[in-house]
Amino acid sequence: MLRLTIREVSLAFREGRILPSELCQKCLDRIKKTRYLNAYITVTEEQAVAQAAAADERFRRGTPKGPLDGIPFAVKDNFCTENTETTCASKMLKGYRPPFSATVVQKLLDQGAVLLGKTNLDEFAMGSGSTDGAFGPVRNPWSYSTPYRDRSGLDPDSDWAITGGSSGGSAAAVASLSSFLALGSDTGGSTRNPAALCGVVGLKPTYGLVSRHGLIPLVNSMDVPGIMTRSVHDAATVLGVLQGQDAKDSTTIRPPMENFHLPDDIDVSKLRIGIPKEYHAPGLSQEILSQWSRVADILERAGARVEAVSLPHTQHSIVCYHVLCAAEVASNMARFDGLQYGHRSAEDSSTDALYAATRHEGFNGVVRGRILPGNYFLLKRSYQRYFLKAQQVRRLIAQDFAQVFSAGVDLLLTPTTLSHAPSHAHFIQEDNRTRSAQEDVFTQPVNMAGLPSPLCPLSLPALRSALPIGLQLIGAALQDRKLLAVAGWLERQVAFPRIQLPWDTEEEEEDGGGLVERGQRVL
C-alpha cells in the first residue's frame, strides 16, 4: 500500500478500497519504524489523524476536494506551519511557532492533504549533506537496503550513506515510504541533490511559478519551493496545485496553464537534446558518466537529436554563487537577534552583548561562516569588486542558457551530482564550504538563471554501487510541463528505483501490488 503513487492512492480512495485514515496510520507507523533515519524533526501525529478522519468523511459523502485529498505529506522544517514549531534545524528558532502557514503548505492543506510532520535539514538550509543541523544528520534509507549492504561491505549501524542536502529529511521521508510527497527548498540544488542520492523524483520549478511566502529565506533571488514524489506524474499533479500568483509574494508570476496534466506519450523524435560540454567536470565518477551516456543513447535511439552545446560561463558559476549566497545570507540572518522570537541569550549586560551572544549561541559554525564573508562582500569598499561583479557574471550565465534555447535546443541533459551518495565518514572529512562547492557544481547554475529542472532517478540494476543516482533535465523558463513530459517518458523507459528494506515483508509487497491491480518528537 505504501509503495503506491499518489494517482493510484487517490483512485483507491474514490473507489472505497482504502480510507485516508488507514493510510495515514500506516505512514505514522512507518515513521516510527524508520526513526533511525532521523528524517523528521517533528511528527504531527494528532493533527494528521484528525485531518485524515475529515478526509474519510469527505470521501464517504463523495465530495473529495481534489487529487491530493487524504494524501499524507511532509514539509521541510524551513517552511512556516501555523502553531507547529518551525526550527530550520537551528537552536536559533527553538520553540518558534509561526502564526501562519507558508502559501505552499496552506494550498496542500486546502486540498485536504494530511500533514505528517516537519523534516530534517542542514541548519537554515546551508549544506549539501543534511549533516549540519541541530538535530543530527539524516541517514540515507538505501544504506539499509540489502543490495547496498551486500555490495558496499559497510556496516550501516556504524557507517551509512548521506542523503544529500539540504532537503535530506524530505528525500528520506519519500524514499523510505513514510510520506507520499514532501516539500523541500532549492537554492543551489537542495531538492535535486537529495532526490538524486535517495532515488526519488525531485522538481525545481521555474523561479516565481510557486510562492516563496512563508519559506524562511536563504537567498531570496534563488530560493524556490521544491517538490519530491515517487513518480513524475505525481510531481506534475503537485505542481499544478502549488503554482500561481500570490499577493504575499511579489516575485510570483502567472502560470502558463491551469494544470500540468501530462500526456500519456510524447514524440521525442521532435526534440533537440543538448549535452553541455562544461558539465564533464573534474571528479565526475565513471558510473555517473556511463549512465549519462546511457540515457542520451536511449533518447537518440528514439529519434531525438542529441548534440553537444556550450555554456562557457559555467566555470565561474560556483564561485559567483557562493559570493551572492553569502551576501544574501548575511542580510537575511540579520533578523535573528533574539528579541522577538527564538533563542535569546542570558547575556544582558548591553544590547550589543545580547545580540552577539544570542547569535553566537544560536547559529552553528556553518551559518556564522557564511555571514562573515557576506558582510565583507557588502562593505562599500568590496561591493563593486565582489557583489556587483558576481551579479554581472550571473547575467552572463543566464544569457548562456538563453542562447542555447533560442538556437532551438529543447532541453539539456546533465548529471546532478559527481557521484552516488558518499558514506557519512567520508563526507565529513571536508568542511561544509568545500562539500557544497563539490555537490552544487551541476545544480546551482539553474538557480542562478531561474530555470526549471526535474530530477530523474535511475534504476539500480545498472548501477554497480547499489545506490541511486539521478540525471537532471534543464529547460527554458516556464517550460516545466515540457520537461515533466520528457521526464515521464524517461520514467517509462528506465525503471526508477524501488527500495526494499530488510524488514519489509512479502505480505506488504503483495498488498500493494494487489491494490494496484484492483485499481523525533511527537506532538
Residues tagged active-site: 76, 166, 190
Instruction: Give whole-number Cα distances, 242 to 45, 247, 250, 259, 372, in Å.
Output: 24, 14, 16, 10, 35
Name residue, grid cell 525503471: 495
Name which of 232, 205, 244 is nearest 7 in CA terms. 232
Whether the bond between 166 and the residue before it is cis, its omega within 30 degrees of 0, is yes
- Return the H-helix or E-strand segment holding 414: strand 411-415
| CA gap 503, 498 in Å, rounded | 15
Name which of 196, 210, 203 is nearest 182 in CA terms. 203
Under 8 Å between Cβ of 241 and 73: no
Name which of 170, 285, 209 is nearest 452 in CA terms. 209
Under 8 Å between Cβ of 135 and 125: no
| CA gap 129, 190 in Å, rounded | 9
Structure letter (DSSP) for residue 43: E
Neighbours of 221 (CB within 10 A): 16
| CA gap 132, 186 in Å, rounded | 17
Is the Cα torsion angle 470, 180, 177, 218 positive or negative in sign? positive
